[in-house]
Structure 1
């Protein structure tokens, strides 16, 4: 099969509104943290991680998820125009990973429906359907190839990249605009609170004090094709545990299948990976599983980190965001830092957590990003610098 390249990308999150701001945050002595208090049902609170900057006001007529998508598309405006000109609108496709779409915007109209018995005249149910952001993506870009949503919770954004590669390998498209986007929603924060999975403080992956996640928002979009670009989508692997609806399989056996498939597709071994971007949610069960897995597959020397101590858990955008952070770190030859409270859980399997302003011992070429979702959905993505 042909090599798959990433020709362009855009990113926004708590770390910054573009790649330059994101790099500055990654290389800072004091990276951003989830810092906004969100009130929850039952008098509880949690921290959330909103975008670091404001979105353009002319995007305000859309849902916030679509506003973030529109912003990311503008960040790649010239690259998108070049892609359409090169391949033609009918040979460009789209895949978007998301989970929230317009759910937050439906809360107010739903309250009116409960109170008054009628929906507001301007309420559009389609805005909260999972396909709405894919519709918006296609309308904004103007391509006529296939376009769909991947919604597999926390693996959605990474799976969009794998789906894009399959589009290209199958001949369905020559180029694909893909990635993941999600926005903050009270439904999400309260839902995770009902599962006893949110932290009232800034989350602390792999800490002895970890007690749950902080929800974040943001996303990353990519243009992928068979035409050589600065970065290669070297390998990816997917698996499903079918173990439990919300808890990971404790040994990481299913997750390891995804890693091994990614290695096989890339024709490399674990020793060829220069950095492991972990899922690292800061929940007791996920971190226990993942440290066991990383120790078993990569040992204690390979640098690794979870970025969720900075970005929060961006759900459907998380996997795409991790891949974009890996690209930025590869270009700058820095290690994405593992940001937490510094109180490491010594009962977990030993792994090499990257420090603030960390530098690699040798030039980095390949980075792996891992994402694990509800329902046992697993994916690993390997990115390689081509020059």
Structure 2
């Protein structure tokens, strides 16, 4: 594969941009707080991005989800990089692929509490382009002026990992000359109480892969990356998407396949596409939600497929599980390891689950990495693995 990452940035409770995220990771400062979502009294921890509240000028596009997307797009050099590509190729040759699982359901929730006397949506909430599963891409296209093909992927927690695979195919087929990929999901009552009904939430800060883990924390995030065919931009990040794997085992609505069938397939596909052996992978950012079943199955797969020298961690204890934005958030953390040479530890890990045996620690590790991998496994058995490599 010859797809370069030429820019990226992240916005979450762990940091409003990638520089702040690096600081949070290095200082082991979590963005998780006790649940303070209006209308919810659940005893859990969440990763809420409070800066979203100041983004209230989107007019007919207003929603918490769109506000977080807008906030994320203003970070770093994303807008400048995108503007340069639009001038070079034209906006119709720039593609857009977004991942989300909630879209703007937060706005829809509020709309139904503000019905008029006829039981109809109040005027302010009559937003057909917002109450829409495709809302993330519709809004980002509007916000950035992208006029090329636009797609929104909703495959639960693998949504914004799969955007990279779709973008790579578009570029390889010469459908477009560059692609903005991203993901955005925000906290809302439907999501928080939905996961609570599945008995998946923890009342404590989450502890991925720990023997005493007892559930997940939810968060919100947006993240973006810009992809281009290799050799067409000399100002890139020095990072290349060298492999990806996608699978769907469709074993159960919410429980992973007991033997990790689909997860194994996505990891092996990524290695095969990159023409790399497992021994070549320096670091894996694990899906690592801190649920009993998911962590056990993923950890056993990693032990089976990779040597003990492959360093691993889960970073969800910094910002929570950001659902449809988890893929892009953790892809950015993984890519950034190639630039910082710092592998983040697995925060809150005290005692590794005795059923697991692989290289994971709570402390950071310093290593010059060449090839790194990230896993995103979603409900319904939707799995995606991404593999990034340093090219200079």
Q: TM-score, normalised by structure 1?
A: 0.94
RMSD: 2.0
Rounded to whole Å, the distance in 2 between the matches of 1:266 and 1:42 is 45
Decide whether aligned partners of structure 1 residues 238 and 352 sit closer, same or farther in structure 2, where only a CA change above 3 A counts: same
| 1:152-191 alignment runs, 5 A limit | 152-191=155-194
Rounded to whole Å, the distance in 2 between the matches of 1:119 and 1:128 is 11
Rounded to whole Å, the distance in 2 between the matches of 1:357 and 1:328 is 14
The equivalent of 2:359 in structure 1 is 352
Deviations 1:85-137 (A, max 9, x none): 12211111100001122211222221344986232122124313110110011
Distance apart, 1:43 and its partner CA: 6.0
The equivalent of 1:32 in structure 2 is 30
Q: Unpaired segments of 5 or more residues in structure 2?
A: none
SS of residue in 1 equivalent to 2:222: strand
Comparing 10-19 with 42-51, which one deviates more in the overlay?
42-51
Decide whether aligned partners of structure 1 residues 114 and 139 sit closer, same or farther in structure 2, where only a CA change above 3 A counts: closer
Rounded to whole Å, the distance in 1 between the matches of 2:101 and 2:379 is 12
Rounded to whole Å, the distance in 2 between the matches of 1:223 and 1:71 is 17
Distance apart, 1:52 and its partner CA: 6.6
Comparing 199-208 with 351-360, which one deviates more in the overlay?
351-360
Which of 354, 364, 374 is matched with 2:379 structurally?
A: 374
Q: Unpaired segments of 5 or more residues in structure 1?
A: none
The equivalent of 1:339 in structure 2 is 347
Rounded to whole Å, the distance in 2 between the matches of 1:55 and 1:167 is 35
Decide whether aligned partners of structure 1 residues 39 and 83 sit closer, same or farther in structure 2, where only a CA change above 3 A counts: closer
SS of residue in 1 equivalent to 2:369: coil
Decide whether aligned partners of structure 1 residues 10 and 224 sit closer, same or farther in structure 2, where only a CA change above 3 A counts: same
Could you tell me whether the CA contact under 8 Å between 2:64 and 2:104 is conserved in 1? yes
1:210 paired to 2:204: no
Decide whether aligned partners of structure 1 residues 116 and 220 sit closer, same or farther in structure 2, where only a CA change above 3 A counts: same
SS of residue in 2 equivalent to 1:11: strand
Q: TM-score, normalised by structure 2?
A: 0.92
Rounded to whole Å, the distance in 2 between the matches of 1:136 and 1:39 is 24
Decide whether aligned partners of structure 1 residues 103 and 381 sit closer, same or farther in structure 2, where only a CA change above 3 A counts: same
